[in-house]
Chains A and B, each alone.
Chain A
Amino acid sequence: MEWETVIGLEIHAQLATRSKIFSAASTAYGAEPNTQACAIDLGMPGMLPVLNAEAVRMAVKFGLATNSAITRRSVFARKNYFYPDLPKGYQISQFELPIVGEGSIEIELKDGTRKHVGVTRAHLEEDAGKSLHEDFHGMSGIDLNRAGTPLIEIVSEPDMRSAAEAIAYMKKIHTLVRYLEICDGNMQEGSFRCDANVSIRPMGASEFGTRTELKNINSFRFVERAINYEVERQIDVLESGGTVTQETRLYDTNKNETRPMRSKEEANDYRYFPDPDLLPVELDEDYIAAIADTLPELPDAKSTRFQQEYGLSAYDAGVLTASRELADFYEATVTAAKGAAKPAANWVMGELAGVLNKQGMDIGASQVNPEQLGGLVLRIEDNTISGKIAKEVFEAMWSEQQDADAIIEARGLRQITDTGAIESLIDEVIEAHPKQAEQYRGGAGKLLGFFVGQVMKRSQGKANPGMVNKVLREKLGGS
């Protein structure tokens, strides 16, 4: 039987506020355990939450950027359950009235097809702490630094039909939250993580199958693997006559498999109810309009503009707008290259991306700045150097952090475009290889490449290749 996969994602993005969602403690990552947790975060008796206005502003930004309904009166609710890293015995979240309502996101797949994925809702909530199970002599340690860190949980509709679509959606959200500067997107540190609801059904069926929830997956690669594993597992179960159990499963990255965590029967009854310590969040039109005014150009709009303004392909525009930093870098490069948009794109996506990738850096850590890269492109465009020499210049630029012109001068890499100089180089080469010259003249036209190579070598790569070709043909005559 042919099966159809149905996927919905719940993405938790940590909001980039300086203090926690309900307290003044810092949200900075990596501090000594329990040094960034105040009495409120520790759930001490009598402590009360006070909402961080910045978290609200960020959630509204997200809502506006996804064309979602902004709830004018949203309510915080308590999600009650016991766990040692949940200090109050409840998580403050939103339940019936989330701050962001229905919206939609357009994703683009590798084959260029576009698809809308519905956003059901996005709500504000606080993160829990962390349980540490190592180094405590059989006991568990609790680190509450993360407790109270603001999260926005973005819940999608079950609109995705493959792991590839899920990844495209997740990447789109990842790009968006970084464009909006509401989340640093750091997946290693857990700032951006995902739960996937996965089910399968016979192709063409209208009813959904029983879903399983895959918990807390923190890389794009693992999301893809976990979903693919889970789909295969469910197919095996159904095709061998079994039924899928509704349950929460954990993806084991080492074994590349999913394992049951808890079943529906064991699931907590969270006993949600409105948090009486917090007032409803009421937003007026002026507030929302003021936030709308601060929205940056978003990835889709930027990509369209890049195609129109710079004549880039949809693919190139997509790559260059994947992050706001990369797009800004590219545009600054184009400016420095006096509008040479296409060559600039090739350099940013080619040599620069290559070295960044190799070194595991992102664009912000680039050792070459856009002015330098643009200057290099400019020198290729005005024939000061060849494309081949340019690679050498780029390498030097990366390691020495100098401008292209300085490197070209210091190393004498300026291209030879003087006809006389090229002619004498060619004369020397023909003289040194009389036999080959004879063969060429006798009809071995493929030997032209050999002569070009020799001339280039003799010029240490600096001779203008076009001129070399032209003059060689003239001098050698023959074929």
Chain B
Amino acid sequence: MHKASVAELSAALKARKFSSEELVRAHLARIHAQDSELNSFITITETEALAAASQADRLIAAGEAGPLTGIPLAHKDIFCTRGVRTSCGSKMLDNFVPPYDATVVEKIANAGMVVLGKTNMDEFAMGSSNENSYYGAARNPWDTSRVPGGSSGGSAAAVAARMTPLATCTDTGGSIRQPASLCGITGLKPTYGRVSRYGMVAFASSLDQGGIMGRSAEDTAWLLSAMAGFDPKDSTSVDRPVDDYVGGLNQSIEGLTIGLPREHFGEGLDPEVGAVVEAAIRQYEKLGAKVKEIDLPNSPLSVPAYYVVAPAECSSNLSRFDGVRYGYRAKHTKNLQDLYTRSRGEAFGEEVQRRIMIGTYALSTGYYDAYYLKAQKIRRLISNDFRQAFSEVDVIMGPTSPTTAFPLGERTDDPITMYLSDIYTIGVNLAGLTGMSIPAGFAGGLPVGLQIIGNYFEEARILSVAHRYQQVTDWHTQAPPDAGSQA
């Protein structure tokens, strides 16, 4: 069951080959067997999952099931779930049980899906290795001494290890695509505004976007169909029709023009990773696509611009975690100032504190113009680069991350190297575009991801481009050995 596609699971449930409860129990069993090693879940919602599964089975029996009814998934622990602890990977919210559901959670519940649990993540989605989690790092199922990537590392590890067919996740600078790449799965970051941010704990509001991890473009298309759409509760969500992502999967790619940014194939790219990506692009050429080299001249500025804008927004967004109304509060505080500084000092991890300080600095009087405003101008230039590129090409491709999964601990003392693992993904967030990572092969036994970047609201197109590749390759069906079995 755990190897079947979403479409196969949906058909099997409808045909009563097995029940949702059986399906959910099978995945829970895989979680119990593997997750003490992989640490991809912060909370496993077994009781709720089994209740939801039997409800799904009743709907299926009554003939009232939708295509996703009874299919399990996991939510990144950044999406608020009513009655279920939502920690955001932080000590700050270790005790936080939201009284509301995020719109994404509500839509998925309305589709009849079954939530297995909440997945591990870098604290407040800040990190590229999942090592910044209060609950300890999740492990890469392909090599448990290595990181799964981040921040959505728990979702990526859980999907890769076949503990769930699908997972929600978020991407602020690459937090879906980079872990998808490092874990050998398919990850989609939709266009900014395509998926509601309501109830999704904010890191950097102008960059955050909820998305999907699955094992294939097709599976991903199914979940995107349930998640996408305008939400009046999110002023930045966009009111435009949702495309038929599943129906559009078989669009031809004959004559498709693929742009290859020179800047994504230069210095810093691991040659083995580069070779895998180039092979994937040759595959596309064989399938009838044309390739064109393009320039994204401002892309070297994307990491510095991002590390001003994102911390600036985070410094403000995280101000609400003050120990006053909910979340962690330091004990025996002497006065208000002490309550603030100790609650925040004790409950925020090092990386979160670093970014709050960077952001506070960047917004301060006398520095605002030099940092925040300049970064916003660069952001505009980066968007213009993409706009120019998309006047010449249909999609842009390249490596998702410069390297494969790196060993745990390798970069924790070197934030700059850590930040550079998102060098190819960050521009997409700054411009608000959609992007994917799909498995394209292996380097040194570790998965390599191909990044596909699409124009605004062209999720259907990049999904079909990814799907075409997955029809002629089997990288996406390759699974790591079950964790726990190696020991």
Interface residue from B102, B326, B360 paired with A46 (Cβ < 8 Å): B102
A181-204 CB mask vs B (1 if < 8 Å, else 0) is 000000000000000000000000
B390 to chain A, nearest CB (A): 23
B372 touches A273 (CB 8 A): yes
Residues of A within 8 A of B198 (CB): 46-48
B179 to chain A, nearest CB (A): 21
Q: Which of B206, B232, B315, B322 has the most CB of A within 10 A?
A: B322
Q: Does B168 contact A (CB under 8 A)?
A: no
B429 to chain A, nearest CB (A): 12
| Cα separation A46 to B88 with both chains bound (whole Å) | 11
Q: How many residues of B contact A (CB 8 A)?
A: 44
| Cα separation A82 to B236 with both chains bound (whole Å) | 26
B368 touches A84 (CB 8 A): no
| Cα separation A278 to B205 with both chains bound (whole Å) | 10
Residues of B within 8 A of A44 (CB): 98-100, 320, 326
Dominant secondary structure of chain A at its interface with chain B:
loop
B322 touches A82 (CB 8 A): yes
- The answer to whether residues A89 and B322 also contact, given A45-B201, A273-B316 and a CB cut-off of 8 A, is yes
| Cα separation A277 to B363 with both chains bound (whole Å) | 17
Q: Does B441 contact A (CB under 8 A)?
A: no
| Cα separation A47 to B102 with both chains bound (whole Å) | 9
A40 to chain B, nearest CB (A): 9
A87 touches B236 (CB 8 A): no
Interface residue from B79, B199, B313 paired with A276 (Cβ < 8 Å): B313
Q: Does B473 contact A (CB under 8 A)?
A: no
Interface residue from A48, A142, A271 paired with B233 (Cβ < 8 Å): A48
Q: Does A97 contact B (CB under 8 A)?
A: no
A90 touches B205 (CB 8 A): no
B320 touches A39 (CB 8 A): no
- The answer to whether residues A45 and B235 also contact, given A80-B316, A89-B319, A273-B363 and a CB cut-off of 8 A, is no
B interface vs A, CB < 8 Å? 79-80, 86, 88, 93, 96, 98-100, 102, 197-202, 204-206, 232-236, 312-313, 315-316, 318-322, 324-326, 336, 340, 360, 363-365, 368, 372
B182 to chain A, nearest CB (A): 27
A369 to chain B, nearest CB (A): 45
Q: Does A209 contact B (CB under 8 A)?
A: no
**Nearest residue in B to A89 (C-beta to C-beta)?**
B319
Interface residue from A42, A49, A80, A271 paired with B235 (Cβ < 8 Å): A49
A80 touches B88 (CB 8 A): no
A39 touches B99 (CB 8 A): yes
B233 touches A87 (CB 8 A): no
Q: Does A88 contact B (CB under 8 A)?
A: yes
| Cα separation A90 to B317 with both chains bound (whole Å) | 9
Residues of A within 8 A of B201 (CB): 45-46
A80 touches B320 (CB 8 A): no
| Cα separation A50 to B196 with both chains bound (whole Å) | 13
| Cα separation A279 to B235 with both chains bound (whole Å) | 7
Residues of A within 8 A of B197 (CB): 46, 48
Q: Does A32 contact B (CB under 8 A)?
A: no
A46 touches B206 (CB 8 A): no
Q: Does A135 contact B (CB under 8 A)?
A: no
A70 to chain B, nearest CB (A): 21
- The answer to whether residues A45 and B80 also contact, given A80-B316, A80-B319, A269-B365 and a CB cut-off of 8 A, is yes
21 contacts across the A-B interface (CB closer than 8 A): A45-B93, A45-B98, A45-B202, A46-B80, A46-B102, A48-B197, A48-B235, A80-B319, A82-B319, A82-B340, A87-B320, A88-B320, A269-B364, A271-B363, A271-B368, A272-B363, A273-B363, A273-B372, A276-B205, A276-B206, A277-B205
A54 to chain B, nearest CB (A): 16
Q: Does A78 contact B (CB under 8 A)?
A: yes
**Nearest residue in A to B309 (C-beta to C-beta)?**
A276
A271 touches B316 (CB 8 A): yes
Residues of B within 8 A of A51 (CB): 235
Q: Does A465 contact B (CB under 8 A)?
A: no
| Cα separation A358 to B441 with both chains bound (whole Å) | 89
Residues from 265 to 308 in A contacting B, C-beta threshold 8 Å:
269, 271-273, 276-279
Residues of B within 8 A of A90 (CB): 316, 319
B151 to chain A, nearest CB (A): 16
Beyond A46-B98, A89-B322, A278-B235, 5 additional pairs, beta carbon < 8 A: A46-B197, A50-B234, A78-B316, A88-B319, A88-B320
Residues of B within 8 A of A89 (CB): 316, 318-320, 322
| Cα separation A450 to B461 with both chains bound (whole Å) | 106
Residues of A within 8 A of B236 (CB): 48, 276-279
Q: Does A343 contact B (CB under 8 A)?
A: no
A356-385 CB mask vs B (1 if < 8 Å, else 0) is 000000000000000000000000000000
A74 to chain B, nearest CB (A): 14
B98 touches A271 (CB 8 A): no
B96 touches A45 (CB 8 A): yes
| Cα separation A47 to B320 with both chains bound (whole Å) | 11
- The answer to whether residues A42 and B325 also contact, given A49-B235, A80-B363, A269-B365 and a CB cut-off of 8 A, is yes
| Cα separation A80 to B320 with both chains bound (whole Å) | 10
Residues of B within 8 A of A272 (CB): 363
A416 to chain B, nearest CB (A): 74
| Cα separation A3 to B320 with both chains bound (whole Å) | 46
A133 to chain B, nearest CB (A): 12
Interface residue from A45, A46, A84, A88 paired with B336 (Cβ < 8 Å): A84
| Cα separation A89 to B232 with both chains bound (whole Å) | 24
| Cα separation A46 to B82 with both chains bound (whole Å) | 12
Residues of B within 8 A of A50 (CB): 232-235
| Cα separation A345 to B270 with both chains bound (whole Å) | 90
**Nearest residue in A to B313 (C-beta to C-beta)?**
A276
**Nearest residue in B to A42 (C-beta to C-beta)?**
B325
**Nearest residue in B to A279 (C-beta to C-beta)?**
B235
**Nearest residue in B to A270 (C-beta to C-beta)?**
B365
A48 touches B319 (CB 8 A): no
Q: Does A43 contact B (CB under 8 A)?
A: yes
| Cα separation A48 to B315 with both chains bound (whole Å) | 16
For the complex of A and B, 7 pairs with smallest distance between CB atoms: A89-B319, A276-B206, A271-B363, A276-B205, A43-B320, A46-B199, A45-B201
B200 touches A46 (CB 8 A): yes
| Cα separation A46 to B321 with both chains bound (whole Å) | 12
Residues of B within 8 A of A277 (CB): 202, 205, 235-236
A271 touches B199 (CB 8 A): no
A24 to chain B, nearest CB (A): 10
**Nearest residue in A to B324 (C-beta to C-beta)?**
A84
Q: Which of A45, A88, A90 has the most CB of B within 10 A?
A: A45
B364 touches A271 (CB 8 A): yes
| Cα separation A89 to B79 with both chains bound (whole Å) | 21
A73-97 CB mask vs B (1 if < 8 Å, else 0) is 0000010101010011110000000
Residues of B within 8 A of A271 (CB): 315-316, 360, 363-365, 368
| Cα separation A90 to B322 with both chains bound (whole Å) | 12
B98 to chain A, nearest CB (A): 7
B266 to chain A, nearest CB (A): 31
Residues of B within 8 A of A80 (CB): 315-316, 319, 363
| Cα separation A435 to B115 with both chains bound (whole Å) | 112
Residues of A within 8 A of B102 (CB): 46
| Cα separation A82 to B340 with both chains bound (whole Å) | 9
| Cα separation A50 to B96 with both chains bound (whole Å) | 24
| Cα separation A439 to B233 with both chains bound (whole Å) | 93
| Cα separation A277 to B102 with both chains bound (whole Å) | 16
A45 touches B320 (CB 8 A): yes
**Nearest residue in B to A83 (C-beta to C-beta)?**
B336
| Cα separation A278 to B202 with both chains bound (whole Å) | 14
Residues of B within 8 A of A45 (CB): 80, 86, 88, 93, 96, 98, 201-202, 320-321
**Nearest residue in B to A50 (C-beta to C-beta)?**
B235
Residues of A within 8 A of B88 (CB): 45
| Cα separation A80 to B318 with both chains bound (whole Å) | 11
B171 to chain A, nearest CB (A): 16
